[in-house]
Copies of this chain bind each other. A is one copy, B any other.
């Protein structure tokens, strides 16, 4: 009945429709003492902002964040952190027509089926704008991860059939995360391979000309996580990641480590060999597990991938129906990205950070010795 919260320990609750007064989020459960500023959160929101290039919508959304609570003298206080983003560019007129019919690939029909009516302005609660609140919350999670030496990096791996470096491998096997981030930030499509990026750009131009759109994939890497995060059964680290990822509007698939390829591997190929480093730390020769064994992190990088469907709002004519059931030919006009992938990159990164922050807190009670460390030593 309420599905606007994510996380059990580091818990966020979002609100807001694309054309209402504002979007926002409450982050509840963030430990006290984390350095946090509006500027830091803003830097994440700026990565999601549209209107930065040809391949994202020309809507002006400044998406300025305001911290309403939970931060005092530059640090989190342990109390809920509320973040507010006002909606500024609300051209509801653009959307008046879609009140009457069901856009294919959108939640118009299912919203009516569930609630009996809907806020039809710009997709309402199901708009991609909803992810702004996730990014704001994710920035808080990233601030916490940073304090613990943990890094998250996502990037566009492929757009339509153009794949970065034409490899199926995770790019983190070739580059460091900072290299990947730097290369990604050079591309208007968030692809860390400039050649692939250029190819994809020209494909997207073609799509735009045909009033069509394209899909793609995003890869994400979490580095520096301690071993043992996640729980052995339903709250496996990868199970929570999967929920987090599929909760992002356009995501249609999730795989961790070798993922779907595991289906055509044998046991000797899939299993990662353990060995001991000179410094005594436990490592694996390969990482087909994707950093998770039995639902718990194993100290390797967590590697996963998501499939993102093409933008459903397209200008090409489509068969559909009106609310009264009569047939209708829809041509969705308005300002829409021809591809969702580039702007979704920071959303995936933030959802991964939120999953990790939650698991870090959830793991604190796993051993009696941790409780003794906190309550009995001082």
Contacts and interface: CB of A to CB of B under 8 A. Distances in A.
Contacts of A293: 105-107, 109-110
B77 A119 contact: yes
Residue of A31, A234, A275, A296 with most chain B CB atoms under a 10 A cut-off: A234
A254 interface: yes
A366 interface: yes
Contacts of A321: 274-276, 282
Given A149-B376, A361-B1, A130 B314 contact: no
A276 B323 CA distance: 10
Given A109-B274, A265-B215, A280-B325, A70 B256 contact: no
Contact of A126 (B67, B82, B118, B294): B294
Interface stretch (A2-10, A42-50, A55-63, A186-194): A2-10
A68 B119 contact: no
A181 interface: no
Chain A to chain B: the 9 pairs with minimum beta-carbon distance, closest first:
A107-B294, A3-B231, A3-B235, A114-B228, A2-B29, A253-B255, A2-B28, A110-B296, A213-B267
A374 B368 contact: no
A155 interface: no
Interface string A235-257: 11011111111110100111111
Contacts of A20: 68-70, 72
B368 A31 contact: yes
Contacts of A115: 32-33, 77-78, 228, 366-367
Interface string A1-43: 1111110011101111100111110101101111000000000
A148 B369 CA distance: 10
Number of copies of this chain in the oligomer? 4
A252 B242 contact: no
A117 interface: yes
Residue of A1, A5, A298 with most chain B CB atoms under a 10 A cut-off: A1
A218 to B, nearest CB: 9
Given A3-B233, A215-B265, A32 B366 contact: yes
A15 B29 CA distance: 12
A242 B245 CA distance: 9
A371 B364 contact: yes
A299 interface: yes
A318 interface: yes
